Amino acid sequence: MAFGSVLDVVLNGVDVTQDHAGWIGFYATMGGCVAALLLSRVADIFLRHMKTMLLVLFVLATAATLWFVLIRLSVIPFSMVSLYLSTILMGVFINASIPLFYELGCEASYPIAEGVTVGVLTMANNLTGVVFLSVMQIPRIGVGWMNWATLGSVAVAVPLLLLFTENYTRTDIDTQESIVPEPHKCAAASINANTKVD
């Protein structure tokens, strides 16, 4: 999340020190890592429900991001607790979705190799981050647009996920029982058949 790398710049207008911004970003990242590991396990248990999980995550991420933006704009009264909670929840919900997006991407693009799919998704993510950070080079652009860009990018994922059609062909192949007889069983069946003929 490129937004996290400029958190100290975004929070500069509400008198949050760089030290505080660093700790907020740290907790958001660590929370996202833990949530991603837990959610990956949940996704293994509840196969074929990745789209639903992603929808829930992004609705919650949109709410947390909106909370953060309203705090930043002073629509909601500022408090350090609210700032910490909203930012950490943003990190948790957005970062927890990353493994599921990669997995769903591999499912959707099957039989294209997983390495190709993951490479394209990673490249798209990095290019988006480069564009986001490069806009800051425009003179006198300020930082307010970052809040709205982050909120927009999170919110737009919800209708796009609703339009997305799930396809779990790869999972179906991985989980089905082997329908091709094993070689040693074929040999045994052949020997039995020959014995009965004799």
Planar angle of CA 88, 94, 96, nearest 5 degrees: 95
Question: What is the C-alpha to C-alpha distance for residues 72 and 75, in angstroms, rounded to an integer?
Answer: 8
CATH number at 106 reads 1.20.1250.20
pTM reported for the whole predicted model: 0.76
The per-residue b/e assignment along 79-104, b for 16 or more CB within 10 angstroms, e otherwise, is eeeebebbbbbbbbbbbbbbbbbbbb
Q: What pLDDT, on the 0 to 100 scale, is given for residue 64?
A: 92
Position 60 confidence tier, pLDDT thresholds 50, 70, 90: very high
- What's at 60, amino acid-wise? L
Report residue 115 as tokens: 């390495």
Question: What is the C-alpha to C-alpha distance for residues 186 and 145, in angstroms, rounded to an integer?
Answer: 67
Question: What is the C-alpha to C-alpha distance for residues 129 and 7, in angstroms, rounded to an integer?
Answer: 14
Torsion of CA 86, 88, 90, 91, to 10 degrees: 170
Q: Which residue has the tokens 């429900």?
A: 49
Concatenate the DSSP letters of all residues of 110-142 into one string. Answer: TTS-HHHHHHHHHHHHHHHHHHHHHGGGSTT--
The 10s digit of each residue's pLDDT in 131-166 is 878 887 788 877 778 888 888 888 998 998 888 887
Residue 190 pLDDT > 50, yes or no? Answer: yes
**Tally of structural domains, the chain:** 1
Domain around 61:
2-197
* Averaged pLDDT, 74-90: 86
The 10s digit of each residue's pLDDT in 158-175 is 998 888 887 777 776 766
Question: What is the C-alpha to C-alpha distance for residues 192 and 183, in angstroms, rounded to an integer?
Answer: 14
The 10s digit of each residue's pLDDT in 2-48 is 667 777 777 776 777 788 888 888 888 888 889 888 888 887 787 77
Question: How many Cβ atoms sit within 10 Å of the Cβ of residue 41?
Answer: 10
Question: What is the C-alpha to C-alpha distance for residues 70 and 148, in angstroms, rounded to an integer?
Answer: 10
